[in-house]
Structure 1
Amino acid sequence: MKVVTANRLFDGEVVWLGAGGRWVEDLGEAHVLETKEAEAEALEEGAASADRQEVVDVYSIDVTVEEGVLIPVRFREQIRAAGPTMRLDLGKQARRRVNAA
């Protein structure tokens, strides 16, 4: 399984390609690609978005599902999905804590 990721040019946020070709900030909302054809189509969508200068550095990553949650396979992508590793009060992990409260 794969998802397509990039960085949004407006604010540098890590984003994933979701349903309908929209970029989402939560990995859980990413469109999961299960075939090479689906991956190729999603990468084309991402490239078109990059051409419109909405995102930069579009590529696909491997993901797995653990207890119903999408998890990036590579450690680098786990960090990109979670946010800064030094300051847990910043980034995506801080927003998750605020939303859970």
Structure 2
Amino acid sequence: MKTITANRLVDGDVVWLGRNGDWVEFVEAAWILNSEEEMRAAEEFAKAGEASQYVLGTYAIDLELKDGHLQPTALKERIRAKGPTTRLDLGKQAQRLLRSA
């Protein structure tokens, strides 16, 4: 499983490519790419996002299901998906806790 990630230019936030070419703020909402055909279509959406200067630095990452949750396989990408490792009250991890409360 793969998806496309980037940084949103307006605020620098980490985003992932959604199913319809939109950019989503949580990796769980990302378009999961399971074939070369889906990867080519996603890369076209990513190029369009960069061309419109909405995102910068698009690239593909590997994903896995762990304990029933979708997450990046690489440590760097898990940190980008969650937020700071020293302050759990900041970043996307804190937003998840607020949403679930």
TM-score with structure 1 setting the length: 0.94
Match of 1:44 in 2: 44
Mark the runs of 5 or more structure 1 residues left unpaired by the alignment. none
Cα distance in 2 for partners of 1:8, 1:38 equals 22
Match of 2:65 in 1: 65
1:88 to 2:74 alignment: no
Give the C-alpha shift of residue 96 in structure 1: 1.1
Q: Which residue identity is paired with 2:59? A: Y
1:78 to 2:92 alignment: no
Count of aligned pairs: 101
Identity of aligned residues (%): 49
Q: Which residue identity is paired with 1:56? A: L
Cα distance in 2 for partners of 1:9, 1:19 equals 20
Residue aligned with 1:88, SS = coil
Provide the aligned C-alpha RMSD in A. 1.0
Cα distance in 2 for partners of 1:69, 1:88 equals 18
TM-score with structure 2 setting the length: 0.94
Residue aligned with 2:20, SS = helix
Cα distance in 2 for partners of 1:94, 1:45 equals 29
Cα distance in 1 for partners of 2:19, 2:41 equals 13
Residue aligned with 1:53, SS = coil
Cα distance in 1 for partners of 2:68, 2:25 equals 18
Match of 1:8 in 2: 8
Match of 1:28 in 2: 28
Give the C-alpha shift of residue 36 in structure 1: 1.6
Deviation larger for 23-32 or 81-90 = 81-90
Residue aligned with 1:20, SS = coil
Per-residue Cα deviation, 1:65-96 (whole angstroms, up to 9, x for no partner): 12332111111101011011122111101111
